[in-house]
Structure 1
């Protein structure tokens, strides 16, 4: 197994770590910041999530630079991304920091685009990540981090950064999904029954 694939696997293994530190109530301390309390567990979970998110770009960069792109990597990379984002969203819903409908919209888009890619792959076509799709991922990560940190440090300024980031993430998620389907509409229409 090459280095890029090992990094991708590491991202998958970090997913339960993020969930455990977000959802299990460890008694390891809290930090108070202007009427917002963060647990040390939440800070650890956020740090691990950021590390995992960074590996998303790193594994692809290494695979392309060293010319070690593999079919396993093509399968594992999007799987790891979806597991990380989905786990974080579900955890945030459980923590009551995110409305369930927002998580459902984002996760549904991921399933729909994955389905489109599978249809394309069955016909020998590859649907590469679009610039809008990459932007969607970055905005989702920013929104998730802001929610994990309960809007710190923006809560000090009473600025609803996390709420705004979530709204932007939902809008870009929907538009990027529509963009994939529009640009690949021939694949969809060719497979109609």
Structure 2
């Protein structure tokens, strides 16, 4: 197993820890400290997302396993964060629902695309979407100003990137 895949697996392992930190009340610890720690865990996980892709491309270590576990790890991390924020009422539930439905739909859609030998590499819009989701999550965890604005921008980018995937697949079907 190469380093990028190990980093993706670390991200998968950090997702439940993040969820645990977000949903639990710790009696002897001030909530702001728990939020800081949750942000550190999320930040480390987000950095593994950047570095696994960078290392895989620059060191020529892209693998079939990596192309499967990297987006899976991303979804697990975002799912853990958004569900934790939803359960603790730190985010608008409708925006979270829409984002999560899109994530599940497009993930399933990408599985179909892979089975048909269609390239499902993340698009530029998908990468920007993920970045905004991650920034919004940090702002929401910390309850900083503009958190909901960032979440709304993430929603718009999430829907746009979904449209982009669907459009690319339709174009692919017309060629076949």
What's the TM-score, normalizing by structure 2?
0.92
Please list every run of 5 or more consecutive structure 2 residues that lacks an aligned counterpart in the other structure. none
Worse-superposed segment, 128-137 or 115-124: 115-124
The 4+ residue runs of structure 1 with deviation greater than 4 A are 187-191
Report the aligned-residue RMSD: 1.8
Higher helix share: 2
Tell me if the contact between 2:92 and 2:148 (Cα under 8 Å) persists in the aligned partners.
no
* 1:117 to 1:187, Cα distance in 2 relative to 1, 3 A: farther
Partner of 1:158: none
1:116 Cα offset (Å): 2.4
**Which of structures 1 and 2 has the bigger CA Rg?**
1
Matched, 1:91 2:92: no
* SS of residue matched to 2:61: coil
Aligned equivalents of 1:20, 1:90: Cα separation in 2: 11
1:164 is aligned to 2:149: yes
Displacement of 1:56 in angstroms is 0.3
Structure 1 spans left out of the alignment, 5+ residues? 31-37, 155-160
Task: Say how many residue pairs are matched.
Answer: 176
Show the counterpart of 1:141: 134
Report the structure, 1 or 2, having the larger strand content: 1
Distance (Å, rounded) in 1 between the aligned partners of 2:90 and 2:175: 41
